[in-house]
Chain A
Amino acid sequence: MGGRVKITLLLAPALLVIGVLFAGGLFAAVVQSLGYLPAIGQTEINFGAYRDVLTGEDFLNSLLLTIYVAGASTGISTVLAVLAALALRRSSGRLSAIVFQLPITIPHLVAAVGIALVVSQTGLGARFAATLGLIGEPAEFPALLYDRYSVGIILTYVWKEVPFIALVVLASLRGVAGELEDVARTLGANAWQRFWYVVFPVISPGIIAASLIVFAFTFGAFEVPYLLGKTYPTILPVMAYNEYRDIELTARPVAMAINVLIALITAVFAALYLRLAKDLGRG
Chain B
Amino acid sequence: MAEAAVLSTGSAAAPSRRRRSWVPYALLLPGLLWLVVFFVLPMVTLASQSLQEGNVDDGYVFTGNVGIYVDALQQYWPQYVRSLVYAGTATVLALLLGYPLAYFIAQKAGRYKNLILVLVIAPFFTSFLIRTLAWRTILSDDWFVTEWAQKLHITDFLQAVGLTSNDSLLSSKFAVIMGLTYNFLPFMILPLYTSLERLDPRLIEAAGDLYASAWQTFRRVTWPLSLPGVVAGTLLTFIPAAGDFINARLLGNTQTTMIGSVIDSQFLRVLDYPLAAALSFILLIIIVTMVSVYVRRAGTEELL
Whether chain B is bound by chain A comes out as no
Interface residues, chain A, CB within 8 Å of chain B?
none
